[in-house]
């Protein structure tokens, strides 16, 4: 992978098993010689009761991976994540992937940031990528599984 002077952004929910995303983000950041940031956008309705123990576990996991974790309370997670990605000049995004249906978060994030590669990690550790096409951005949504 190419070097990146910006950062890898890892988007997590308040679920403990998002630690797999932080580990994958660290690998990608190391390959790209980039820094890493972890972001969690919690729904406003969750308030300060938002998965406190799980978020603290993820914060410690991020810290162990040499990354800071930022938590926002907002109901439009893809927009907040896209803005944060621009702020830190992200070169790559790592996120989870819903097992049963299309993940609206990833679709919207990709529409907002079509030139960034997005790596999705399933619960079983399978990795998929949305790779931007330099010649035709309409084909950028194709999923490429990695073995």
- Delineate the domains of the chain, giving CATH numbers in brackets: 7-146 (3.40.50.620)
Q: Across residues 54-76, what is the average pLDDT?
A: 94
List, edge to edge, every strand of the sheet that includes 90-96: 68-73, 35-42, 7-12, 90-96, 117-121, 127-130, 143-146
* Two tokens, residue 110: 């990709």
- What does the pLDDT read at residue 140? 41
pLDDT surpassing 90 at residue 2: no
Say if residues 11 and 67 touch (Cβ distance below 8 Å): no
> Distance (Å, rounded) from C-alpha 98 to C-alpha 91?
23
Where helices occur in 32-117 by DSSP H, the ranges are 52-64, 77-87, 104-112
Closest residue by Cα to residue 47 from 76, 73, 75: 73
Q: How confident is the model at residue 139 (pLDDT cuts 50, 70, 90)?
A: very low
pTM over 0.75? The answer is yes
Q: pLDDT by residue (tens digit) across 67-111?
A: 999 999 999 999 999 999 999 999 999 999 876 555 589 989 999
């Amino acid at each position: 992978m190419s070097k990146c002077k910006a950062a890898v952004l890892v988007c997590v929910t308040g679920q403990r098993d998002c630690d797999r995303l932080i580990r994958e983000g660290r690998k990608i950041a190391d390959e790209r010689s980039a820094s890493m940031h972890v972001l969690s956008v919690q729904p406003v309705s969750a308030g300060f009761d938002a998965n406190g123990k799980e978020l603290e576990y993820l914060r410690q996991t991020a810290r162990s991976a040499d990354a800071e974790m930022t938590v926002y309370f907002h109901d439009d997670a893809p927009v907040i994540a896209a803005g944060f990605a621009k702020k830190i000049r992200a070169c790559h995004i790592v996120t989870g992937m819903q097992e049963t249906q299309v993940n609206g978060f990833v679709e919207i994030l990709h529409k907002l940031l079509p030139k960034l590669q997005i790596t999705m990690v399933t619960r079983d550790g399978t990795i998929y990528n949305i790779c931007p096409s330099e010649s035709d951005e309409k084909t950028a949504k194709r999923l490429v599984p990695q073995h």
